[in-house]
Amino acid sequence: MGVMPARAANSPVNLYEKLIGSDAMDRVCLETPWGETYSYSGVDECSGRLANLLISCGVAPGDRVAVQIEKSPQVVFLYLACLRVGAAYLPLNTVYTLEETGYFLGDARPKVVVCPPERREDAAGLCRGHDVPHLFTLGCEGNGDLMEKGRGMPAGFRTVQVSPHDLAAILYSSGTTGKPKGAMLTHENLLSNAQSLVQAWGFTRADALLHALPIFHVHGLFVALHCALMSGARMIFLPRFDAAQVCSLLPRATVFMGVPTYYTRLLAIEEFDRGKCREMRLFTSGSAPLLTDTFEQFRQRAGHTILERYGLTETLMNTSNPLDGERVAGSVGLPLAGVDVRIAGQNDRPLAMEAVGEIQVRGPNVFAGYWHRPEMSAAFFTPDGFFRTGDLGRMDGEGYVYIVGRSKDLIISGGYNVYPKEVEECIDCLEGVQESAVIGMPHPDFGEAVMAVVVPRPGATINYEDIKHRLRDRLANYKLPKLVAQSLELPRNAMGKVQKNRLREDFLPIWMDFVKRK
């Protein structure tokens, strides 16, 4: 069994107390485009009421709270309330289907589920099926019984002290084989990474973060939110990314975090120029590779060089281009303070500079393992405690890391991870399908998009447009193939493994013609 990462001393701590400091209580924490404003003391009171509500439901340290709701300030209050009671926050993408959501509830066994009011009936059925005792609703405008019942609770709450390696959140990360697995993130993981990023990116209370990211994954929830809260900064909190709205609000902000798709869409707006960015000090990009062309176009139009960084659900942030120093196009930068990064070859042996191998990471940011999967967890760690990321990369003589590929054929479309095996399994269940292969293809807006190559059963007639329609009830929209093509067989190597690199090459002309027509 591999050695798990070293942990800090078991002294009581709670991430919440590091995020909401007593010296920032009178400052504006969060504001919305429609005029709502919350001070840090207001956030403390709202989260305190919800923490008392959770306690009244019997939520204890370690219990899971599953949340599948649209972005709003109230979601932030709920997340912080979970931290305060020591519960594990479990955010779920709002576009997951009932089948997908049911799997997560069955695996995590939460004590509380929160859903939008319009989905209450479906959610109630899932809760009954998985023995979830408490269901609340919360709408994007703060409506629903969660806040109604919370308003009847006391605002004061004494935050529960926990161990640094107690569970703070579970985020599900699919693999290319098998079912999605829950990455367990501890208070120490989140705290150490937030402290490193605040220092690396120079966050202060003078900053105003324009927050347009979703908050059901690491980027929007832990990277953006934690940097602002820990530094006492102000957030302009948008319900979703809208390029025109972001462009209009940039003069009021100092920091913006996005995925490459956000930057290509900003560049498509005629009004976006240096004048809009006059107050900005930092643009960061992550969750997907940033094309060099986008990097250069943005520098010319905005007068700013995008800072690219690299992270994973299991490790949070690992590397970053420097705030002060050269930001290299195509590189995800240098290891963050306290994080060890190496490029390893066979038998996990470190490779020489510029050699391509697996990126491996060790540090307090690295997760505690996969929920209820100890053997799988151990297999992802080397004997000396490095996490095997599965990403392929190289490191230059200055220590800059470059990602050159992804093992297991992970597709990142618009910043969202798409795991081919999950989509393939759904396609293979359809009538008339013998087998399928799902590949990522270049897309001018999303970076990558999903394409499926299907082999029909002998004598079967398949409507390939109908395949996309039939998958809609089983898969989130970003996982759906944009194009489905037919092949008589899938190319395989001597070991019988499908050669997806050949599929990408063979179908590239068809794909490019499809993209052009769209």
pLDDT digits (tens, 9 = 90+) for 4-42: 444 445 677 899 999 997 777 889 999 999 899 999 999
What pLDDT was estimated at residue 4?
40
- 38-96 pLDDT tens trace: 999 999 999 999 999 999 999 999 999 999 999 999 999 999 999 999 999 999 999 89
- Quick one: which of 481, 464, 463, 462 has its CA closest to 472? 481
Give CA angle at 204 (199, 208), nearest 5°.
120
- 394-415 pLDDT tens trace: 999 999 999 876 666 778 899 8
Q: Which residues contact 87 (CB under 8 A, 6 or more apart)?
A: 54, 59, 60, 61, 62, 63, 64, 65, 111
What's the CA gap between 76 and 159, in Å, rounded? 16
Indicate the helix (H) or strand (E) that contains 480.
none
Could you list the residue range(s) of the whole structural domain that residue 487 is in? 410-517
In a domain, 110, yes or no: yes
Please say if the pLDDT value at position 134 is more than 70.
Answer: yes
- Over range 224-236, report the average pLDDT: 97
What pLDDT was estimated at residue 69?
96
What's the CA gap between 191 and 250, in Å, rounded? 28
> Looking at residue 223, which CATH number applies to its domain?
3.40.50.980
The DSSP bridge pattern shows strands 447-456 and 433-443 to be antiparallel
Crossing angle between the packed helical segments 40-56 and 73-85, to the nearest 10 degrees? 60
* 107 in the same domain as 44: yes
What's the CA gap between 479 and 452, in Å, rounded? 11
CB atoms closer than 10 angstroms to residue 376: 13
What's the CA gap between 320 and 341, in Å, rounded? 12
Q: Predicted confidence band at 247 (pLDDT cuts at 50, 70, 90)? A: very high
In a domain, 264, yes or no: yes
Q: Predicted confidence band at 3 (pLDDT cuts at 50, 70, 90)? A: very low
In a domain, 451, yes or no: yes
What pLDDT was estimated at residue 288?
78
Q: Which residues contact 267 (CB under 8 A, 6 or more apart)?
A: 294, 297, 298, 301
**Beta carbons of 426 and 271 less than 8 angstroms apart:** no
What's the CA gap between 227 and 282, in Å, rounded? 13
What's the CA gap between 279 and 205, in Å, rounded? 15
492 vs 430, more confident: 430
- 289-316 pLDDT tens trace: 787 888 999 999 999 999 999 999 999 9
* 43 in the same domain as 121: yes
Helices (H), 253-391: 260-267, 292-302, 374-379
* 420 in the same domain as 274: no
* 296 in the same domain as 216: yes
* 157 in the same domain as 23: yes
User: CA dist 449 to 247, 290, 297, 308, 344, Å?
Assistant: 25, 15, 22, 21, 29
- Read off the tokens for 56: 């009244």
State which of 286, 305, 324 marks the end of a domain: 305
CB atoms closer than 10 angstroms to residue 11: 8
Please say if the pLDDT value at position 1 is more than 50.
Answer: no
User: CA dist 468 to 50, 439, 507, Å?
Assistant: 41, 15, 18
Cα dihedral 359/362/363/368 (nearest 10): 100
346 vs 493, more confident: 346
Q: Predicted confidence band at 318 (pLDDT cuts at 50, 70, 90)? A: very high
Please say if the pLDDT value at position 114 is more than 80.
Answer: yes
- Over range 450-464, report the average pLDDT: 89
Please say if the pLDDT value at position 336 is more than 60.
Answer: yes
What's the CA gap between 186 and 177, in Å, rounded? 25
- Over range 460-466, report the average pLDDT: 83
* 141 in the same domain as 23: yes
What pLDDT was estimated at residue 296?
93
Q: Predicted confidence band at 475 (pLDDT cuts at 50, 70, 90)? A: very high
The DSSP bridge pattern shows strands 28-31 and 234-237 to be parallel
- Over range 311-331, report the average pLDDT: 95
What pLDDT was estimated at residue 456?
92
What pLDDT was estimated at residue 497?
67
- 93-113 pLDDT tens trace: 998 999 999 999 999 999 999
How is residue 499 annotated by DSSP?
-
* 206 in the same domain as 159: no
3-state helix, strand, coil in the chain (%, to 5): 35, 25, 40
Q: Which of 81-95, 171-185, 338-352, 428-442 has the lowest mean pLDDT?
A: 171-185
Q: Which residues contact 300 (CB under 8 A, 6 or more apart)?
A: none
- 500-515 pLDDT tens trace: 889 999 999 999 999 9
In a domain, 414, yes or no: yes
- Over range 201-221, report the average pLDDT: 96
State which of 282, 305, 328 marks the end of a domain: 305
Please say if the pLDDT value at position 254 is more than 90.
Answer: yes
In a domain, 347, yes or no: no
> Looking at residue 494, which CATH number applies to its domain?
3.30.300.30
Please say if the pLDDT value at position 176 is more than 60.
Answer: no
What is the residue-wise DSSP string for 229-283? HHHT-EEEE-SS--HHHHHHHGGG-SEEEE-HHHHHHHHT-TT-STTTTTT--EE
User: CA dist 393 to 230, 397, 500, Å?
Assistant: 31, 14, 19
In a domain, 339, yes or no: no
> Looking at residue 131, which CATH number applies to its domain?
3.40.50.12780
What pLDDT was estimated at residue 506?
94
In a domain, 395, yes or no: no
Percentage of the chain beyond pLDDT 90 is 75
- Read off the tokens for 142: 């703060």
Domain tally, the chain: 3
Q: Predicted confidence band at 178 (pLDDT cuts at 50, 70, 90)? A: low
| pLDDT, mean over the chain | 92
What pLDDT was estimated at residue 242?
96
The DSSP bridge pattern shows strands 181-186 and 433-443 to be unpaired
* 133 in the same domain as 208: no
Please say if the pLDDT value at position 191 is more than 60.
Answer: yes
State which of 305, 322, 347 marks the end of a domain: 305
- Read off the tokens for 462: 């398949």
> What is the separation of C-alpha 438 from the centre of its chain, rounded to a whole number of angstroms?
21
What's the CA gap between 302 and 23, in Å, rounded? 35
